[in-house]
Structure 1
């Protein structure tokens, strides 16, 4: 393993932590119309799926079940 011959002063390490560059990062590219349309369609699909699952799931989750299904075995049918 490589060892340094000269110790690094602690003040230098402390200054390195708070150093800020004056170089500005490049600006982000704006998404194209196709990308915006695709993101919108994906978002609408997700929302529609959630709304649809709620619409189809609410009757199953309701506590008031007005229809009662009576199951009869084949032995009681007389077959």
Structure 2
């Protein structure tokens, strides 16, 4: 493997993995009432879209249960 020929010249570079900052970032600004309402409406629209697709998609996935309808093809019927 590749080996360094010289030692690390600065001690803080070697200790950088355990360095912790004592400066806290500023707090995030709170969302306004209109932002909260718009996020809620977008969430409701997405949930309604999923529910609607499930509501309209499930009948298409059901096998046809019409009375008098047989699943036999013409090839399986004797001619």
- TM-score normalised by length of structure 1: 0.67
Q: Which residue of 2 aligns with 1:9?
A: 9
Q: Supply the distance in 2 between the matched residues of 1:22 and 1:10 (Cα, whole angstroms).
A: 21
User: Post-superposition shift, 1:8?
Assistant: 3.0
The structure, 1 or 2, with the larger RCO (C-alpha pairs under 8 Å, 6+ apart) is: 2
* Counterparts of 2:42 and 2:52, CA distance in 1: 15
Q: Distance in 2 between matches of 1:41 and 1:53?
A: 18
2:31 is aligned to 31
What RMSD, in angstroms, separates the aligned Cα atoms of the two structures?
2.1
TM-score (norm 2): 0.67
Equivalences for residues 1-79 of structure 1 within 5 A: 8-9=8-9, 11-63=11-63, 65-67=64-66, 68=69
Stretches (4+) displaced over 6 A: none
Structure 1, gaps ≥5 residues long: 1-5, 69-79
